[in-house]
């Protein structure tokens, strides 16, 4: 009996029998149109429809991220059709990741049944996913989720914890979700001093210790990125390959790097073992490997030693004073570091679920209590509070976030993330001189951070310098080739500021997945164009992404120094017949 692990998406039409009884011909026509939409979107997401039963569909995907994105896109397009035509079928969608039985082209077993049962408890227009799916997509999806708790499903013995897809993250997210297909780089275009740090594998007996191995990997990326002699691809790009078996030569071409660092972390009580190996992606050869055993109290010395060993292999020369300057200020209490890593694990999901954002704050508070002088804990608590303010409309948190970021820089003036966070908060508060100072300082301290470069590009667009914004966007793309959609969105906004509305509309309409912010700029730009279908498509797309969209909820977050751009946006979105409030 052949089995495989796969992602199952179950979809079913709401009230189909009643609709057929009322208007058979029209309903069958709508079902045919829905079936065509289903086939197209599933195929685009790399899946296949393996079973149909009248008004029901079962599809399979190798990637849970693709399955969730396809389910969301199908529901979005159905809402879009209702907006345009006023008549459409409604779907319930359930998604589950499980081991299933393969019988020729069909899939059978408990996993398929669970997906169907999840679909049955969804509301019309909803996408519900199981915890097994959520755990896979939460770090890389650009969609937000709501934890709807445990459900007893019919004929399923164990209760299932379910999550509802509730839409995209906020206006200014700079994280990639389901990345576009990468174009491999020619070997002669890959910088010889370039490196990607893959997520170190958690080899501890407790799978819950994965936060520690992920945090160690991320810290190593941060340490290496401080060396100007290296070209280090971002965490976002590296972590896209987490838990994936990829040919190292192909990975090198896709990420555009000459070297790849991989390894493992085994944490047992107060002891830790790190194994690491450096691989030349052009030849596939191992050029260095080592094993490190240490007490947790020596963890940061271990990180420094590992970073120095890598630099000596990849970069031609690094001055000792440069290496010393690259060291972060360390916490006095190792518990503070552990709490910080736990908080960062939750913070990554801060735009995904409100509960995660609040749990992140709790862990950062614990880190501060354990070490009141730990700069990074203050910086990330500040960032978490800003996330709550931006994503979940918590009021009166930006002032506290500002104070926390200022405290972080007082404790460690050389921390790039603290400067980036303080720059972002000052931008939202319209203190543009301080915002520019801190972003420039962040870039100087960490020139290899695609995240920082991208945010800095956004700053310059808000300052009215779209050419400079585009130059930062291009630098970010070199470091993180998995951010094409965001970079195109930034490029579209820059062309909007330049007054090239046709280019803005072309860029957004050609995106593989349009965000709320991109759709708003598309609609604004389309009011200047003769092609009316652009405006109709943009408006429908925006309202399908965010049915509650209003001009008042969007424009104030577009923090242009010259308020003419905000007034222009308001006027254009009003002309596009979008709700004002």
90 and 189 in a single domain? The answer is: no
Q: How many CA atoms are closer than 13 Å to the CA of 576, on its beta-carbon side?
A: 34
153 and 183 in a single domain? The answer is: no
163 and 183 in a single domain? The answer is: no
223 and 122 in a single domain? The answer is: no
| C-alpha torsion 358→176→423→479, nearest 10 | 140
150 and 204 in a single domain? The answer is: no
- Of 320, 348, 377, which residue is a domain's last? 320
Beta partners for residue 51, in sequence order: 58
Closest CA relative to residue 328, chosen from 415, 408, 404, 406: 415
- Of 286, 320, 354, which residue is a domain's last? 320
Closest CA relative to residue 232, chosen from 478, 486, 455, 483: 478
Q: Is residue 457 a part of any domain in this protein?
A: no
Instruction: For residue 362, give the H/E element and its range.
Output: helix 354-370
41 and 189 in a single domain? The answer is: no
Distance, CA of 138 to chain centre: 8
Q: Is residue 470 a part of any domain in this protein?
A: no
Q: Is residue 506 a part of any domain in this protein?
A: yes
256 and 163 in a single domain? The answer is: no
What phi, psi does 470 have (nearest 5°)? -70, -35
Domain that holds residue 274: 179-320
216 and 99 in a single domain? The answer is: no
**Tens of each residue's pLDDT in the chain, 581 residues:** 789 999 999 999 988 888 888 888 888 888 888 898 899 889 888 899 999 988 899 999 988 988 998 999 898 888 766 655 556 788 999 999 999 999 988 999 999 999 999 999 998 989 999 999 998 887 666 677 888 888 888 888 888 899 998 766 544 433 333 333 344 455 556 777 788 889 888 888 777 778 888 888 887 887 777 766 678 887 777 877 777 777 888 888 888 888 888 888 888 877 888 888 888 888 888 877 888 787 777 777 777 776 666 655 554 333 333 344 444 566 767 788 888 888 887 887 655 567 788 888 999 999 999 999 999 899 999 988 887 776 655 556 788 889 999 999 999 998 888 999 999 999 988 999 999 999 999 998 888 777 888 889 999 999 999 999 999 988 887 776 655 466 678 889 999 999 999 999 988 887 767 888 899 999 999 999 987 787 888 998 888 777 788 999 899 889 999 999 999 999 999 999 999 98
| pLDDT of 148 | 85
CA distance 33 to 88: 10
Q: How many domains does the chain contain in total? A: 3
* Long-range pairs of 243-250 with CB within 8 A, sequence gap ≥ 24: 248/279, 248/281, 248/284, 249/281, 249/282, 249/284, 250/184
Other CB atoms closer than 10 Å to residue 430's CB: what's the count? Answer: 12
Integer angstrom CA distances of residue 93 from 58, 164, 210, 261, 320: 10, 10, 30, 40, 57
CA distance 578 to 220: 46
19 and 160 in a single domain? The answer is: yes
| pLDDT of 177 | 35
Residue with tokens 């969301």: 72
CA distance 449 to 462: 20
Residue with tokens 């379910």: 162
- The CATH number of the domain holding residue 126 is 3.30.70.1230
Instruction: Catalogue the E-assigned strands of 54-159.
Output: 56-61, 91-103, 106-108, 127-130, 143-151
497 and 537 in a single domain? The answer is: yes
Joined together, the tokens standing for residue 145 give 């989720």
Q: Is residue 239 a part of any domain in this protein?
A: yes
Q: Is residue 474 a part of any domain in this protein?
A: no
CA distance 190 to 578: 46
Q: In sequence order, what DSSP letters do the residues of 493-520 get, joined into one string?
A: HHHHHHT-HHHHHHHHHT-SS--HHHHH
What phi, psi does 202 have (nearest 5°)? -80, 110
Joined together, the tokens standing for residue 479 give 């470091």
Q: Is residue 59 a part of any domain in this protein?
A: yes
Are 376 and 416 in contact, with CB atoms under 8 Å apart?
Answer: no
| pLDDT of 393 | 56
Instruction: For residue 565, give the H/E element and its range.
Output: helix 564-575
- Of 320, 342, 373, which residue is a domain's last? 320
Q: In sequence order, what DSSP letters do the residues of 442-494 get, joined into one string?
A: HHHH-TT-HHHHHHHHHHHHHTT-HHHHHHHHHHHHHH-TT-HHHHHHHHHHH
Length of the chain: 581
Are 47 and 54 in contact, with CB atoms under 8 Å apart?
Answer: no
Are 58 and 3 in contact, with CB atoms under 8 Å apart?
Answer: no
Let me know if 311 is exposed, middle or buried by CB neighbors in 10 A (0-12, 13-18, 19+). buried
Other CB atoms closer than 10 Å to residue 117's CB: what's the count? Answer: 20
Q: Is residue 343 a part of any domain in this protein?
A: no
CA distance 258 to 188: 10
Rg, Å, the chain Cα set: 25
| pLDDT of 77 | 81
| pLDDT of 174 | 30
Integer angstrom CA distances of residue 574 from 56, 495, 520, 544, 545: 40, 20, 11, 17, 18
163 and 186 in a single domain? The answer is: no
Q: Is residue 23 a part of any domain in this protein?
A: yes
- The CATH number of the domain holding residue 304 is 3.40.50.10070
CA distance 549 to 552: 9
Joined together, the tokens standing for residue 471 give 């130059």
CA distance 307 to 330: 16
| C-alpha torsion 11→16→20→22, nearest 10 | -140
278 and 137 in a single domain? The answer is: no
CA distance 201 to 244: 11
């Amino acid at each position: 009996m052949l089995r495989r692990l796969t992602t199952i998406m179950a979809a079913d039409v709401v009230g189909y029998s009643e609709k057929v009884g009322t208007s058979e011909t029209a309903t069958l026509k709508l079902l045919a149109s829905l079936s065509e939409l289903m086939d197209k979107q599933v195929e685009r997401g790399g899946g296949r429809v393996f079973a149909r039963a009248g008004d029901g569909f079962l599809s399979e995907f190798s990637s849970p991220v693709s399955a969730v994105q396809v389910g969301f896109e199908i529901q979005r397009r159905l809402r879009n059709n209702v907006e345009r035509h006023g008549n459409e079928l409604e779907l319930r969608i359930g998604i589950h990741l499980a081991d299933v039985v393969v019988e020729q082209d069909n899939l059978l077993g408990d996993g398929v049944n669970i997906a169907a049962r999840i679909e049955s408890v969804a509301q019309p227009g909803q996408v519900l996913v199981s915890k097994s799916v959520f755990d896979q997509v939460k770090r890389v999806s650009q969609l937000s989720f709501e934890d709807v708790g445990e459900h007893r499903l019919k004929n399923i013995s164990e209760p299932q914890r379910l999550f509802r897809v509730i839409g995209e993250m906020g206006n200014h997210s700079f994280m990639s979700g389901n990345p576009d297909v990468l174009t491999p780089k020619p070997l002669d275009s890959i910088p010889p001093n370039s490196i990607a740090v893959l997520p170190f594998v958690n080899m501890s007996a407790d799978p819950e210790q994965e936060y520690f191995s992920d945090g160690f990997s991320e810290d190593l990326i941060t340490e290496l990125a401080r060396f100007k002699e290296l070209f280090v691809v971002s965490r976002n790009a590296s972590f896209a390959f987490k838990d994936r078996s990829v040919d190292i030569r192909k990975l090198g071409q896709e990420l555009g790097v000459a070297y790849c660092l991989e390894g493992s972390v085994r944490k047992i009580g107060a002891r830790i073992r790190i194994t690491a190996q450096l691989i030349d992606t052009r030849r596939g050869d191992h050029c260095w490997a080592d094993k490190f055993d240490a007490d947790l109290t020596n963890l940061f010395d271990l990180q420094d030693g590992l970073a120095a060993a890598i630099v000596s292999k990849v970069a031609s020369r690094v001055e000792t004073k440069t290496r010393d300057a690259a060291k972060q200020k360390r916490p006095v209490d190792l518990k503070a570091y552990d709490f910080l890593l736990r908080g960062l694990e939750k913070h990554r999901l801060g735009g995904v679920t409100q509960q995660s954002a609040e749990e992140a704050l709790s862990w950062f508070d614990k880190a501060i209590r354990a070490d009141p002088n730990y700069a990074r804990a203050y910086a990330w608590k500040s960032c978490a509070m800003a996330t709550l303010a931006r994503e979940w409309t918590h009021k009166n948190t930006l002032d506290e976030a500002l104070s926390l970021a200022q405290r972080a820089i007082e404790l460690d003036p050389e921390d790039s993330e603290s400067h980036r966070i303080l720059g972002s908060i000052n931008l939202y508060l319209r203190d543009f001189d301080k915002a520019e100072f801190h972003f420039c300082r962040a870039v100087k301290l960490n020139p290899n951070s695609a995240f920082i470069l991208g945010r800095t590009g956004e700053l310059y667009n808000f300052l009215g310098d779209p050419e400079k914004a585009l130059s930062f966007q291009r630098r970010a793309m070199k470091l993180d080739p998995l951010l094409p959609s965001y970079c195109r969105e930034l490029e579209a906004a820059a062309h909007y500021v330049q007054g090239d509305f046709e280019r803005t509309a072309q860029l957004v309409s050609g995106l593989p997945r349009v965000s709320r912010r991109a759709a708003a700029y598309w609609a604004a730009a389309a009011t200047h164009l003769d092609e009316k279908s652009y405006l109709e498509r943009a408006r429908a797309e925006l309202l399908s992404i965010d049915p509650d969209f209003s001009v008042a909820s969007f424009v104030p977050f577009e923090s242009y120094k010259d308020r003419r751009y905000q007034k222009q946006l308001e006027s254009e979105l009003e002309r596009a017949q979008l709700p004002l409030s």
